[in-house]
Chains A and B, each alone.
Chain A
Amino acid sequence: MGTTASQLGKDLLSEYQELTFLTKQEILLAHKRFTELLTKDEKDLPNTRVPMEKILTLPELKSNPFRKRICLVFSTSEQKDGSLTFEDFLDLLSAFSDSATLEIKSHYAFRIFDFDDDGTLDCGDLEKLVNCLTGETDDTRLTPEEMRQLISNILEESDIDKDGTVNLSEFQHVISRSPDFVR
Chain B
Amino acid sequence: MASEPQGQGSGNCFPDEHQSLRFRRVSSRVSNQNYPQFNWNSTPADEDGGGDSGPRRDLKSIPLPMSLKRAVRQVQQMQVPVVSSVESWKRKKSKSLCKLKNATREFLYFFELWSKSLQKIGGNFGGGVQSYFLFLRFLVVLNFVSFSLIAGFVLIPSIIFRSAGSSPVNNTGPEACMEYDPNPQGLVVFYNYFLDLLSGTGFMEYSYLFYGYYNNTMVEDRNFSYNIPLAYLFTAVFYFAFCLICIIARMGTAARVAVATGGSAVGNYSMIVFTGWDYGCLGDRATKLKQKNIHYRLQVDLEEERIKKQAAALTLCQKILLYSLRVFMFFLALGLIIAAFYGISEATNFSQERSDEQGILGLIFEYLPSIVITTGNFVVPLLCDQIALIERYTPSTTIIVALLRAVFLRLVSLGVLLFTLWRQITCKGDTNNKACELCQYNHEVYQCWETRVGQEMYKLTLFDLLINIAVLVLVEFPRRMVVDNWSSKLAQWVGRQEFVVPSNVLGLVYGQTVVWTGALFCPLLPLINAIKFVILFYCKKITLFYNCRPALKTFRSTTSTFFFLVVLLFGWGLATVVMIYSLAEIRPSMGCGPFRFFPTMWSIVPTSFHSLSETTKEFLFFIGSQAFSIPLFALSCVVMCYFIALASVHGKSVALLRAQLKLEGRDKQFLVKQIEELSRQL
Q: A residues bordering B, Cβ < 8 Å?
A: 1, 15-16, 18-21, 23-25, 59-60, 62-66, 74, 76, 78-80, 87-88, 90-91, 94-96, 100-101, 103-104, 107-109, 111, 113, 117-119, 126, 129-130, 133-135, 140, 142, 146, 149-150, 153-154, 157-158, 160-163, 171, 173-175, 177-182
Contacts and interface: CB of A to CB of B under 8 A. Distances in A.
A175 B270 CA distance: 9
Given A59-B282, A162-B669, A129 B273 contact: yes
Contacts of B258: 179
Given A65-B287, A135-B292, A177 B66 contact: no
A63 B33 contact: no
Interface in B256-270: 256-258, 260-262, 264, 266-270
A179 B254 CA distance: 9
B292 to A, nearest CB: 7
Contact of B559 (A96, A133, A179): A179
Contacts of B556: 179
A179 B261 contact: yes
Given A59-B282, A157-B270, A119 B292 contact: no
Nearest to A87: B66
Contacts of B283: 59, 62-63
B162 interface: no
B681 interface: no
A94 B60 contact: yes
A95 B106 CA distance: 19
A118 B261 contact: no
Interface in B279-313: 279, 281-284, 286-288, 291-292, 294-295, 298-299, 302, 305
Contacts of A113: 274
A177 B287 contact: no
B555 to A, nearest CB: 13
Contacts of A178: 261, 271, 274-275
A24 B106 contact: yes
A91 to B, nearest CB: 6
B664 interface: yes
Contacts of A87: 65-67
B6 A78 contact: yes
Interface in B89-135: 102, 106
Contact of A19 (B3, B66, B256): B66
A104 B102 contact: no
Contacts of B274: 109, 113, 158, 171, 174-175, 178
B267 A177 contact: yes
A23 B70 contact: no
Given A133-B291, A162-B666, 14 more contacts: A1-B70, A23-B106, A59-B282, A63-B281, A87-B65, A140-B295, A142-B295, A154-B269, A154-B270, A160-B662, A163-B668, A174-B274, A177-B261, A177-B262
B63 A103 contact: yes
Contacts of B294: 133-134
B257 A179 contact: yes
Nearest to A25: B106
A158 B274 CA distance: 10
B662 A149 contact: no
B33 A18 contact: no
Which of A63, A76, A126, A162 has most B Cβ within 10 Å? A63
B479 interface: no
B32 interface: yes
B620 interface: no
- 9 A-B pairs with least C-beta separation: A161-B665, A87-B66, A179-B558, A135-B291, A63-B287, A134-B295, A107-B63, A101-B61, A153-B269
Interface in B61-79: 61, 63, 65-67, 69-70, 73
B133 to A, nearest CB: 17
A142 B273 contact: no
Nearest to B665: A161
B54 interface: no
A59 B289 CA distance: 16
Interface in B1-18: 3, 6-7
Contacts of B261: 177-179, 182
Contacts of B266: 157
A163 to B, nearest CB: 7
A5 B305 CA distance: 58
B276 interface: yes
Contacts of A15: 70
Nearest to B262: A177
Contacts of B282: 59-60, 63
B650 interface: no
16 contacts: A19-B66, A25-B106, A64-B287, A65-B277, A78-B6, A91-B66, A104-B63, A133-B294, A135-B292, A140-B295, A154-B269, A161-B665, A162-B665, A178-B271, A179-B257, A179-B559
Given A118-B33, A157-B266, A181 B56 contact: no
A19 B68 CA distance: 10
B566 to A, nearest CB: 15
Nearest to B277: A133
A79 B668 CA distance: 36
Contacts of B664: 161
